[in-house]
A and B are shown apart, each in its own frame.
Chain A
């Protein structure tokens, strides 16, 4: 059996990174947990102090390291613990996601959701939906190969 055929048979296990703001969605994730709401184990949560702590380079690095999808969760607009952090994050992510799409990391693989500490249900729903979306998109391009020409 050729190597390619082997790879084709391999089950796709997506790698999904979720950046969660400490003050809202991270607590939302906790609530989802303590309410026994399930979300797939493919999601790896990284806690950040505010959505705007997420330097666009973090997202690029996640993709460079092989992520199939990256989601950022923060407080609802107007509710940021630092007042305006999420408004800046919103602009940055809009531009970054559009650029990633332009490079070939299609737009379904990036997402921003506003999830409060009380929204355990929304948290688990969002994660379930996002993971499903990534399964449907399949394996991502390898951003680390952006500067390697194939042929």
Chain B
């Protein structure tokens, strides 16, 4: 697959369709490729596409679409929702992107492998549904299904919402998975004290690294409420205790109705905080109260929070539901 993508990237660079390529580059280990920009055909030797290319490249297009000429960008099915949402918010220019939709069998989660006992991982290889880990303290083999990212368990399906061409492994018919709200429902039925304790347990681990905010395609505000401009340590110092204590809730509310559930925030959180449980609560409520809505499925519908009908439910619905 990787070879096909490199070949196609070289062709498009060669014939001048695009002037740069946004993709993933080999990391220092076999399981940590990173987003990278390629500007020459030679540099594409470093290009990778494998199960560890979970990183969503659409946010990079904000900057790249301000440059001269087109950028080739590779998007997995879920990434295309984020791209669309950014187009809708006038953050990226559709005309500046040449999109190749790549297929995806579920992104791998190295932390899941560690949790399942792989210690001192040296190399990971994939072969269809089998993932083999070579590790200092014993090799392991996993079913792909057991070591994919949380977000892939709630995959929105194989269809790309936007693309210029599709790679040969794209599977537009691959069905969506359900069960996206099952954990949210579990929390909903707890009693309020339990819920508070649950969230204290999760959110107290946060080290305020801001990774979730920085990776989020919906968090593209030029001036973010969490940036403290009083000091040179912007992005690190807290503006005040309110901002510090309410960080996750404020951010979740800011992206409500715009969050595509791309799962990047939970993927990058070094503390494994289930941020998707906050986002999905909003998504679930929006679906229930205002009708099913998927952010990024199109570029022209109005977002639920910038819209209303005179018949909307009253906030007391929250009580009535119990």
Contacts and interface: CB of A to CB of B under 8 A. Distances in A.
Interface of A: 56-57, 60-61, 64, 77-78, 84, 87-88, 90-99, 101-108, 110-112, 141, 143-150
B193 interface: yes
A77 B256 CA distance: 23
A109 B245 CA distance: 20
A99 B316 contact: no
Given A96-B253, A144-B245, A103 B195 contact: yes
Contact of B246 (A64, A93, A106, A148): A64
Interface in B164-208: 187-188, 192-201, 203-204, 206
Counting from the closest, the 9 A-B pairs by CB-CB distance are A104-B196, A87-B308, A149-B204, A104-B195, A106-B192, A112-B315, A94-B315, A93-B315, A107-B318
Contacts of B256: 95
Interface stretch (B31-39, B109-117, B258-266, B285-293): B285-293
B249 interface: yes
Contacts of A60: 242, 246, 249-250
A90 B250 contact: no
B192 A57 contact: no
A95 B245 contact: no
B134 interface: no
Contacts of B314: 90, 94, 112
B282 interface: yes
A91 B192 contact: no
A99 B315 CA distance: 12
Nearest to B204: A149
Given A97-B318, A149-B200, 11 more contacts: A64-B245, A78-B310, A87-B308, A87-B310, A90-B315, A98-B285, A101-B318, A104-B192, A106-B192, A112-B316, A141-B192
Contact of A90 (B246, B249, B286, B308): B308
B250 A91 contact: no
Contacts of B204: 147-149
Interface in B255-308: 256, 278, 281-282, 285-286, 289-290, 304-308
B199 A103 contact: yes
B319 interface: yes
Residue of A56, A102, A107 contacting most chain B CB atoms (<10 Å): A102
Contacts of B250: 57, 60
Contacts of A146: 196, 199-200, 203, 245-246, 249
A94 B317 contact: yes
A87 to B, nearest CB: 4
Contacts of A87: 308-310, 312
Contacts of B289: 91, 94-95
